[in-house]
Amino acid sequence: MINFVTEDISFTFKNKTIIKKWIKEIIESYKKKLGDISVVFVSDKYLLEINQKYLNHNYYTDIITFDNSHNDYISGDLLISIERVEENATLFKKTFQDELHRVIAHGVLHLLGFSDDTDEKRFNMRKLEDNNLLKLNI
């Protein structure tokens, strides 16, 4: 099951049914099963506090992923800063929706076990994001 919620902001997420289907397709393309995923839209301030408290990082980020996957069932929480997504969309000359979808794909890839802690892994993660974004029909 996939849930979309907001924590400390007002935000309306569009195309929920299409995005749920897309997330499930990403997971199944890696021969895994959908467990429970919460996509939580938050503010910069909220995500910074989570970053400091749980990861000992003192910087803003667009997403933090908490993986609760078990065996072949992919589960977890994707906490997404809407403010960071807006800023990055402008910075990278993308639409807000395109950048938001990229961030969601990025989080799902983390749940699937991919990391981006080196330049090479970041490059590979970006290619995987691009490939999965091509599968999204909105």
Contacts 24+ apart (CB under 8 A), 20-25: 22/132, 22/135, 22/136, 23/104, 23/108, 25/135
Write the pLDDT tens digit of every residue in 16-34. Answer: 999 999 999 999 999 999 9
What is the pTM (predicted TM-score) of this model? 0.93
In this structure, are strands 73-81 and 63-67 parallel, antiparallel, or unpaired? antiparallel
Q: Which domains does the chain have, with CATH numbers?
A: 2-134 (3.40.390.30)
Write the pLDDT tens digit of every residue in 77-135. Answer: 999 999 999 999 999 999 999 999 999 999 999 999 999 989 999 999 999 999 999 99
